[in-house]
Structure 1
Amino acid sequence: MERIRITRLRGDARLPTRKHPEDAGLDLYAVERVEIPPHEFGIVPTGIGVQIPAGFVGLLKPKGRSNHLLGAGVVDAGYQGEILVKVANPTNERLVFEAGDAVGQLLILPILTPQVEEVSPEEFNQNTTARGASGGIVEQKRRQSVG
């Protein structure tokens, strides 16, 4: 994929950019002022639409210097609406985005979309691994409850 098709759904929208040609993510910008109270979520509109090709997915990620978190960060191929960025403000201060402020970044990655096949637990566990079934979460939870 050499190009990605992007449209301005609002005339005042800023197109995504890369600060450096080698950067993985395209910076996304707020199209209007949005205030997010401490410890709450808000939606920041970008005013743009992106055509993600089949076989790819767009992932919304925070910028490295950001103190906020992003949620609902998957843009599927075929989605034709505005890119809206769900922002979580984990701080004790009001978070303000002005029009033109960078909100996050869009990564476009190839994906696999295998069919789902249900199998029995016995068939599922035929090939055991050293990692087992806990994935570390059960052990971590056990340690937290003891301490």
Structure 2
Amino acid sequence: MYDDPTAPSSTLQIRLEDGVPLPHRAHDGDAGLDLTSSEDLVIPAGGRALVDTGTAVALPPGTVGLVCPRSGLASRHGVTVLNGPGIVDAGYRGPIRVALHNTDLTEPFTLHRGDRIAQLVIVPFLAPVLQQVDELDETDRAAAGFGSSGGFGTAPSKEG
């Protein structure tokens, strides 16, 4: 396996609604645990739905769960996680629900109980102490924002 002995915890406690499958990785070493729908429903064309997974977790302290879209669902059906990634905080113990958006403007999308709808990726995070200052340190980029690295296409050469 790929367990990291330096990780905050190698055990994830999971509570499941009756009949809901245990989240799992499709392939050994995958980052995402597949989450499934615990209900049947139809997401209208261009619409959205808050879908229950019937899954609750006790994330280890110092981690966050990121509810991410499934690439196949997005590329084949135009269905994605609306607020992707969604955040599951370590102190939350309720059911994970996924805000799905059907981007197809003509076809509704039908979900069945047990369909894989999202992935849960668990990562460590920093919770720094906040310090208000009058000035920030200088960098080469400074305040240059959207589009500051150039337009679409091949990256500019550093040589000239």
> If the length of structure 2 is used for normalisation, what is the TM-score?
0.78
1:134 deviates by 2.8
Residues 63-105 of structure 1: per-residue CA shift (max 9 Å, x gap): 1211222134000011010000110111121111100100010
Worse-superposed segment, 104-113 or 40-49: 40-49
2:109 matches 1:99? no
Alignment RMSD, CA only?
1.7
Query: Which protein is richer in helix relative to its size?
Result: 1
Given that 2:58 and 2:92 are in contact with CA atoms closer than 8 Å, whether structure 1 keeps it comes out as yes
SS for the counterpart of 1:66 is: helix
1:56 deviates by 0.2
Aligned partner of 2:28 in structure 1 is: 21
2:81 matches 1:70? yes
SS for the counterpart of 2:71 is: coil
Given that 2:70 and 2:80 are in contact with CA atoms closer than 8 Å, whether structure 1 keeps it comes out as no
2:70 matches 1:60? no
2:142 matches 1:129? no
Question: 2:142 & 2:45 partners in 1: Cα distance?
Answer: 40
Aligned partner of 2:10 in structure 1 is: 2
- From 24, 27, 35, the equivalent of 2:42 is 35
Q: In structure 2, do the counterparts of structure 1 residues 24 and 139 end up closer, same or farther at CA, with 3 Å as the change threshold? A: closer
Partner amino acid, structure 2, of 1:119: V
Given that 1:35 and 1:95 are in contact with CA atoms closer than 8 Å, whether structure 2 keeps it comes out as yes
Question: 1:100 & 1:30 partners in 2: Cα distance?
Answer: 5
Q: Which runs of 5+ in 2 are unaligned?
A: 1-8, 151-160
Given that 2:37 and 2:114 are in contact with CA atoms closer than 8 Å, whether structure 1 keeps it comes out as yes
Identical-pair percentage: 36
SS for the counterpart of 1:65 is: helix
Residues 104-133 of structure 1: per-residue CA shift (max 9 Å, x gap): 10000000001222111xx22xx3212121
Q: In structure 2, do the counterparts of structure 1 residues 139 and 39 end up closer, same or farther at CA, with 3 Å as the change threshold? A: farther
Q: In structure 2, do the counterparts of structure 1 residues 129 and 16 end up closer, same or farther at CA, with 3 Å as the change threshold? A: same
Partner amino acid, structure 2, of 1:4: L
Q: How is 1:113-128 mapped onto 2 (pairs within 5 angstroms)?
A: 113-120=127-134, 123-124=135-136, 127-128=137-138
